[in-house]
Structure 1
Amino acid sequence: MDFDLGWILLGLPVAFVLGWLASRLDLRQLRIENRRAPKAYFKGLNYLLNEQQDQAIDAFIEAVQKDPDTTELHFALGNLFRRRGEYQRAVRVHEHLLSRADLSAADRQRAQHDLALDFLKAGLLDRAEDALRKLEGTRYEAQALLALLAIYERSRDWPQATEIAQKLQDHGEGSFSGRMAHYLCEQAAARNAAGDSEGATQLLARAITTAPQAPRPRIDQALMQVKADRPAEALRTLLELSSVAPQSVPLIASVLAQTGSAAGQVPQALAALQASYDSFASLDVLDAIVALESAQGTQREQARQRYLQHLEREQSLVATARWLAGEKLEHEQFHPQVQRAIEHATRPLTRYRCAACGFEAKQHFWQCPGCQAWDSYPPRRVEEL
Structure 2
Amino acid sequence: MDFDFSWLLLSLPVAFVLGWLASRFDLRQLKLDNRQAPKAYFRGLNFLLNEQQDQAIDAFIEAVQNDPDTQELHFALGNLFRRRGEYQRAVRVHEHLLGRGDLSRADRERAQHALAQDFLRAGLLDRAEAALQKLEGTRYENESRLALLAIYERSREWAQAAAVAQKLDEADQASFTTRRAHHLCEQAADQLAAGDTLAADALLQQAVALAPEAPRPAIDSAVLLLRNGAAGEAFDVLAALSERAPLALPIYAATLQQAAVGAQRTGEALALLQRGYEQTPSIDVLEAIIALGGMPALPDDASTGTVPEPRDGYIAHLAHQPSLVAASRWLASETFAHEQFHPQVQRALDQATRPLMRYRCAACGFEAHQYFWHCPGCQAWDSYPPRRVEEL
Query: TM-score category by the smaller chain?
Result: over 0.9
* Structure 2 Cα separation of the partners of residues 248 and 271 of structure 1: 17
* Structure 2 Cα separation of the partners of residues 78 and 99 of structure 1: 15
Is the partner of 1:68 in helix, strand or coil?
A: coil
Aligned residue runs from structure 1 range 175-190, under 5 A: 175-190=175-190
Is the partner of 1:364 in helix, strand or coil?
A: coil
Retained in 2: the 8 A contact 1:251–1:379?
yes
Question: Which position in structure 2 is the counterpart of 1:334?
Answer: 341
Query: For structure 1, which segment, 64-73 or 97-106, has the greater mean C-alpha deviation from structure 2 after superposition?
Result: 97-106
How far the C-alpha of 1:3 sits from its partner, in A, is 6.5
Identical aligned pairs, as a percentage? 66
What whole-Å deviation, never above 9, does each CA across 1:145-173 have from its counterpart, x for those lacking one? 10111122223332222221122122222
Retained in 2: the 8 A contact 1:45–1:56?
yes
Question: Which position in structure 1 is the counterpart of 2:352?
Answer: 345
Question: Which position in structure 1 is the counterpart of 2:301?
Answer: none
TM-score of the pair, normalised by structure 2: 0.91
Q: Give the letter for the 1:359 counterpart.
A: F
Retained in 2: the 8 A contact 1:191–1:200?
yes
Aligned residue runs from structure 1 range 49-128, under 5 A: 49-128=49-128
* Structure 1 Cα separation of the partners of residues 6 and 122 of structure 2: 72
How far the C-alpha of 1:133 sits from its partner, in A, is 2.6
1:372 to 379, 388, 392: 379
What whole-Å deviation, never above 9, does each CA across 1:262-306 have from its counterpart, x for those lacking one? 2211101111211211111010000111121079xxx99522322
* Structure 1 Cα separation of the partners of residues 13 and 33 of structure 2: 30
Q: Give the letter for the 1:333 counterpart.
A: Q
* Structure 2 Cα separation of the partners of residues 300 and 350 of structure 1: 30
Question: Which position in structure 2 is the counterpart of 1:24?
Answer: 24
Query: For structure 1, which segment, 133-142 or 37-46, has the greater mean C-alpha deviation from structure 2 after superposition?
Result: 133-142
Matching of residue 314 in structure 1 with residue 331 in structure 2: no
Q: Give the letter for the 1:364 counterpart.
A: Y
* Structure 2 Cα separation of the partners of residues 312 and 156 of structure 1: 44
Question: Which position in structure 2 is the counterpart of 1:354?
Answer: 361
Aligned residue runs from structure 1 range 1-385, under 5 A: 5-293=5-293, 301-385=308-392
Is the partner of 1:288 in helix, strand or coil?
A: helix
* Structure 1 Cα separation of the partners of residues 224 and 253 of structure 2: 16
Is the partner of 2:354 in helix, strand or coil?
A: helix
What whole-Å deviation, never above 9, does each CA across 1:109-157 have from its counterpart, x for those lacking one? 2222112212222333343233323323332221111011112222333
Is the partner of 1:237 in helix, strand or coil?
A: helix
The 1:123/1:4 distance shift into structure 2, 3 A limit, reads farther
* Structure 1 Cα separation of the partners of residues 339 and 162 of structure 2: 60
Is the partner of 2:76 in helix, strand or coil?
A: helix
Query: For structure 1, which segment, 119-128 or 355-364, has the greater mean C-alpha deviation from structure 2 after superposition?
Result: 119-128
How far the C-alpha of 1:7 sits from its partner, in A, is 4.3
* Structure 2 Cα separation of the partners of residues 216 and 39 of structure 1: 60
Retained in 2: the 8 A contact 1:294–1:300?
no
* Structure 1 Cα separation of the partners of residues 6 and 345 of structure 2: 122
* Structure 1 Cα separation of the partners of residues 37 and 228 of structure 2: 75
* Structure 1 Cα separation of the partners of residues 315 and 249 of structure 2: 22
Question: Which position in structure 1 is the counterpart of 2:298?
Answer: none
Query: For structure 1, which segment, 204-213 or 7-16, has the greater mean C-alpha deviation from structure 2 after superposition?
Result: 7-16
* Structure 1 Cα separation of the partners of residues 77 and 251 of structure 2: 51
* Structure 2 Cα separation of the partners of residues 308 and 274 of structure 1: 15
* Structure 2 Cα separation of the partners of residues 151 and 4 of structure 1: 84
Size of the aligned set, in residue pairs, is 382
In structure 1, the gaps of 5 or more residues are none
Is the partner of 1:28 in helix, strand or coil?
A: helix
TM-score of the pair, normalised by structure 1: 0.92
Retained in 2: the 8 A contact 1:367–1:376?
yes
Coordinate RMSD, CA, aligned: 2.2
